[in-house]
Amino acid sequence: MFWQSGHVKAVKGKYQYLRSKIQSIGTRSAKRKLQTLSGRERRFQKDVNHQIANWIVSKQFDLIALEDLTHIRKGTKNKKLGKWSFAELRQIIEYKATAIGKKVVAIDPRCTSRTCSRCGFQKKENRNGRTFTCKSCGFQIDADLNASRNIATFSRSDRSRLPVNQPIVAG
């Protein structure tokens, strides 16, 4: 199950459009308007982060595994969500989960979307955009769903059982 991000992308797109229009004016009043717009966008983002965190924490699981997104900005192509505050989302999830007795672990994201969640075969060519197709067993699935299955598997494993060059639980 994925968080439906259509509304968020639409709102972020609206803010991006308004920001570019106001920036092209360049007057002092336009700069004040940009500050107001920035505050509104920030509050929207924080509210959505709380909604996402509540949705995740409300699930029946006692362990929540998240990708360690420390270096997510490198090579980001999605302009609307590229400036999203993933660190803030992680902090909110961690404090809400801790408050109700759930554990949160961070998983190294390397190769989570290139490794087959069915057979464990890892190759860069397995992922092609949004689609994952294993070059070994032919398993085909949404690339993000495949990665999330790998993250779930890695969060339940201990380091000694993981194959070489596989993501491990951080910390």
Q: Kindly report the average pLDDT of the chain as a whole number.
A: 83
The stretch 103-131 carries a mean pLDDT of 89
Contact 82, 11 (CB under 8 A): no
pTM above 0.85, yes or no: no
Residue 60 predicted with pLDDT over 70: yes
In whole angstroms, what is the distance from residue 166 CA to residue 123 CA? 12
DSSP secondary structure string, the chain?
-----HHHHHHHHHHHHHHHHHHHH--HHHHHHHHHHHHHHHHHHHHHHHHHHHHHHTSS-SEEEEE--TTTTTT---TTTTT--HHHHHHHHHHHHHHTT-EEEEE--TTTTTB-TTT--B-GGGEETTEEE-TTT--EEEHHHHHHHHHHHHHHS-GGGSPTT---B--
**36-57: pLDDT as tens digits:** 999 999 999 999 999 999 999 9
Domain ranges of the chain: 1-107, 108-171
Kindly report which listed range (30-34, 36-40, 69-73) carries the lowest average pLDDT score.
Answer: 69-73
pLDDT for the residue 73: 56
Decide which of 125 and 111 is more confident: 125
